[in-house]
Every structure is written in structure tokens, then in C-alpha cells.
Amino acid sequence: MQTPDRRAQAHHPEGPGAERPIDHPESTALVASATPEAVANGAALGAVVITGICGRMGQLLARQLHRKLTVIGIDRRRFVGKPEDIVHYQIDVRRRKTQDIFRAGNIRAVVHLGVMHNLRESDRTHHSWNVVGFQKLLEFITTYKVPKLVVLSSAMLYGPSPDNAHFLTEDAPLLGAQEFFQIRDLIDVDMVAQSFFWKNPEVETVILRPCHILGRVRNAASNYLRMERPITVLGFDPMLQVIHERDVVEALMIALEPGARGIYNLRGPGELSLSRMLNMLGRKPLPVPGPLINSVLGRMWNYRATRFPKEELDHLRYICLVDDSRARKELGFIPKYGIEDTLHAVSSQW
């Protein structure tokens, strides 16, 4: 029940939070130039590169950061309503042109949000975009000595299971692909980031694993809660954790602070049963017996009658709850949005 894409999604973390990249001709041109003040500020403090800047999470983060630092975005999509002082390169992160951005120097941090979650794309496309693209990015970070890397992963990669501990720590194995094989590339990205963390201690690497992100972000969790008659599995009512998209942005801001490094679960305001969440939103669930629900949802998916893929069904059956005590203790991260505001963020206009 997690991640972003306009039509169909799996996890994250936007990604992590990030919507599906929209294909159109690449351009090496700078979409907008930074103001003189921003250039001067960047010269003193260095720029922050955001991959996937045109997704919901990328835009929210960029609008926070550009008030303090020079922001450079890399994304094939158009950045509608982009502030004038944000620099946007409308290119594919896998292409050689991306290296020119790093070669220019003065980059203080990279925030990686450019992850594809569209389940209708092929496994080969997913691997190329998510894994190969991320490996290229790490090469540039190492070669040009970028001191900070922040990766938005997802707590959903632990995987829902009847055998899960009630609260999973960051040391728990990422088993989400055992029943949901389409997300194995997202687990690969997290594992590659972990390897980079240990092999490159000179880079302050932060990996954030938020629970279900809710808001205007187009991910499976938010899409599900927007339904007037969401399907539930008869006889199951799991406890769930959700977090407001703006709390995730705040965590990204904290992760960019000097000295922050490590792997952190993000939990949100607490736990609530699925039935209680639907009741608070005024939804009228449609309980379906377990033996039928895979068939029903599978057909709806094939006919594009739903944005909620059947592979997410285990999140409507079993728990996948995380322990966020490390983030609270080491990062000082405390979510600002309560459960009611977080739930109603799925229909927010801001």
C-alpha cells in the first residue's frame, strides 16, 4: 500500500516518494537560470542536487530548500510552476550529460528521489532506471567528492507478513519481494545504498525508510484511501502506520544537516487499524472473501479500472510496522502532523 506513480505504483519512496518519469525529448539546456543571489549563495554553501525533482516529493523539498540553498534538479519531466531560482536540467540521470553537472563542482549534497514505481513497465525498464541509474549517480558522487547523499527508500520493503515482529528495526531483512517480486529493484537500490554507506565513510549517507506516505502524492496508499468504496479482505483488519508527505520532507531536510548519517525508519503519528482509518475518512469499504479478492482485483487492474495493484493486498491482511526510535534519538525527528491531518491529506488541495 505504498508509492507514487500517476497510474500504478508500488513503493516509495516517492520512492521512495517519485512519480513515473514522463518521456519527452531530452534537452541539455538549462530550463531556468538561478538568480544572482542564488548563485552567490550556492558559491558559498554549495548546491543540492535533487533527482526526480518534478515528482510531488521532489517539488515539496525543492520549495523548502531553494530559500536557503541553490537547488539543481535532474528530471526528464517538466517542472510546472518552478520557482525562478531553481535550476532544472530536463535530462535522463543515466546519460553522460548528467556527469557535466557534477563536473562543474560545488555540490554539497545529492537527494535521490528519482525512482520508478510504475508496475505496468517491464522488469528490464525498472532495473535500468532504478538500479543502473542509481549506480551511475554513485559513481559521480564518488568521482567528484560530493560529501552528502540522502536516499528516500521505504519501510514497505520489509514486507507485510503474519510472522513480522510488531515493530521492525532498521536491522530487519528486506523481505518484501518474496511475495511482491516486482519491487525487487527497489530493494536492490536500498541494498546498493547500504553497501555505499559502508564502503565510502567519507560520504555522509542517509537512507530513510518511511511508512505509508499520505498526501497529494500519487502512490498506492494515497490512491487506495481516496476510493469511496475501497476493497478490504474479509476477516482482516491490520494495524497500519502512515506519515504525512510534509513530515517526510522535514525528515529529508534534517538528513541534509552536517553530521547526519545512517539508516532510519520513519513512523508518523502512530498506529491505527485499517477499519478505523476508513471510518475517519467516511469511506464505505467493500469486504471481499480472500479466495475471490485476487481474481477481482487482478481483473480490475488488467482493465485499468483501479490504481491499486493486487500485489499490494498483503498490506490489507498483515502488519508491517516499524520502530522509529533511532530517527527520534539520532536525528531528533518528530512528526508534526497528527493522524487525522495525515489521513485527510490524501484529499488536500495544498
Domains in the chain: ranges and CATH: 36-213+242-270+322-333 (3.40.50.720)
Cα dihedral value 164, 168, 170, 172, nearest 10: -20
In sequence order, what are the residues at sequence separation of 6 or more whose Cβ sits closer than 8 angstroms to the Cβ of residue 345?
Answer: 214, 215, 216, 244, 245, 246, 337
pLDDT at 311: 77
Give this prediction's pTM. 0.86
pLDDT at 310: 76
Length of the chain: 350
pLDDT at 313: 87
**What's the half-sphere exposure (Cβ side, CA atoms, 13 Å) at 83?**
21
Task: Give the position of cell 523539498.
Answer: 61
DSSP, res 131: I
DSSP, res 322: B
DSSP, res 60: H
pLDDT at 6: 32
CA distance linking residue 80 with residue 59, whole number of Å: 9
pLDDT at 233: 93
pLDDT at 123: 72
pLDDT at 19: 41
CA distance linking residue 104 with residue 100, whole number of Å: 6
In sequence order, what are the residues at sequence separation of 6 or more whose Cβ sits closer than 8 angstroms to the Cβ of residue 339?
Answer: 242, 268, 269, 270, 272, 280
Give the pLDDT of the chain (350 residues) as one tens digit per residue.
433 333 333 334 443 333 433 333 333 334 444 444 444 444 567 999 999 999 999 999 999 999 999 999 999 999 988 999 999 999 999 888 999 999 998 999 999 998 877 666 677 877 777 899 999 999 999 999 999 999 999 999 999 999 999 999 999 999 998 888 778 999 999 999 999 999 999 999 999 999 999 999 989 899 899 999 998 999 999 999 999 999 999 999 999 999 999 999 999 999 999 999 999 999 999 999 988 888 887 788 788 777 777 778 899 999 999 999 999 999 999 999 999 999 999 998 76
DSSP, res 101: H
